[in-house]
Homo-oligomer: A and B are copies of this chain.
Amino acid sequence: MAKDRRVVRVLKGESLFPPPLWMMRQAGRYLPEYRATRERAGGFLDLCYNPDFAVEVTLQPIRRFGFDAAILFSDILVVPHALGRDLAFEEGRGPVMTPIGPDEIGQLSGEKFHVNLSPVYETVRRLRAELPAGTTLLGFCGAPWTLATYMIAGHGTPDQAPARLFAYREPEAFAKLIDLLADYSAEYLVRQIEAGADAVQIFDSWAGVLDEDCFARFCAAPVARIVARVRERFPDVPVIGFPRGAGSLYDGYRATTGVDAVGLDWSVPLSQARRLQRDGAVQGNLDPLRLVAGGAALEEGVDRILAELGDGPLVFNLGHGITPEAPVAHVEAMVRQVREARR
């Protein structure tokens, strides 16, 4: 069955036209039904940890737009949360955690890791049962570097300076944190696949702020470690790596990490994307603000991606999550344009 899923086929290297499509953050605030469910759920974490709600919001964009993939509704920070760190989501501020110090890294405890995350696995199980047979179910996790930026700063930061400084000043403690996050993230993905995920994506949202040496050690190496561990158990399940902002370090990322497919942010030029496509699938990369603007900006953006990347293995997507301001009508227009594309 999984082999009929178009997203899985492309992730494994097949070229399909029109390309399958989904959107990062497709279960999100731009949808009135999402906002209604979120209101009922209470806080954001209640949405993540309650399978009833999580299943519901994951399915909403599938029902509305018939996307080719559903992505588990959750948050990347459930991993540090499951390792014993506190976590809250404050309105207008995003995630807030107590910043971790170098001496506290040894105290991270995986004792209740899978127990804490069992609602997520339950959500995946139910989703696979409820989704249409042709719809790919994606699991995901945050990459260790990106998780570390939040754990160290205690919140989102414009340039991830706290984590970068921590890495320079406390190289041993930092390496230990990264390794530990890689190992638990790999186990987390394995459990998601056991529960029914057809493919998984590793989100390295802050990969773009590191210099070459740090990128190799903190982004590429731990993702390679995760991929290797997942592969040991599930050699045929595709892994998507998304090192957002990696710029020219996108070249080489697939080879270094072993990911099957590379998620591209919207700043990646399509000439580079074509080069990357020679070695396998790419996913992306419409500027989410073209979706907000609509009209010619949207049409031209979609056209250009289809023209440049449509001949190779492509999963059509945005270059980052859809924003709350995006009108539903623009999403409909985008889906229609991709679906009706002819070569």
Q: A304 to B214: give the CA distance in the assembly, Å.
A: 12
Task: Decide if A210 is an interface residue (CB 8 Å cutoff).
Answer: yes
Q: A215 to B214: give the CA distance in the assembly, Å.
A: 27
Instruction: Pick from B158, B271, B296: contact of A158, CB below 8 A.
Output: B158
Complex contact B301–A245 (CB within 8 A): no
Q: A321 to B287: give the CA distance in the assembly, Å.
A: 28
Q: Count copies of this chain in the complex.
A: 2
Complex contact B287–A164 (CB within 8 A): yes
Task: Decide if A270 is an interface residue (CB 8 Å cutoff).
Answer: yes
Task: Decide if A46 is an interface residue (CB 8 Å cutoff).
Answer: no
The proximity string for A residues 162-187 relative to B, scoring 1 for CB distances below 8 Å and 0 otherwise, is 00110011010000000000000000
- The A308-322 residues at the B interface (CB cut-off 8 A) are 319
Complex contact A165–B289 (CB within 8 A): yes
Q: A245 to B266: give the CA distance in the assembly, Å.
A: 13
Q: A170 to B328: give the CA distance in the assembly, Å.
A: 21
Q: A158-B158, A211-B301 are in contact. Are A268 and B289 (CB under 8 A)?
A: no
The proximity string for A residues 192-228 relative to B, scoring 1 for CB distances below 8 Å and 0 otherwise, is 0000000000000000111111110000000000000
User: Chain B residues near A168 (CB, 8 Å)?
Assistant: 289-290, 292-293, 297
User: Chain B residues near A245 (CB, 8 Å)?
Assistant: 208, 245, 247, 267
Residues of A within 8 A of B (CB): 158, 161, 164-165, 168-169, 171, 208-215, 245-251, 266-272, 285, 287, 289-290, 292-293, 296-297, 300-301, 304, 319, 323
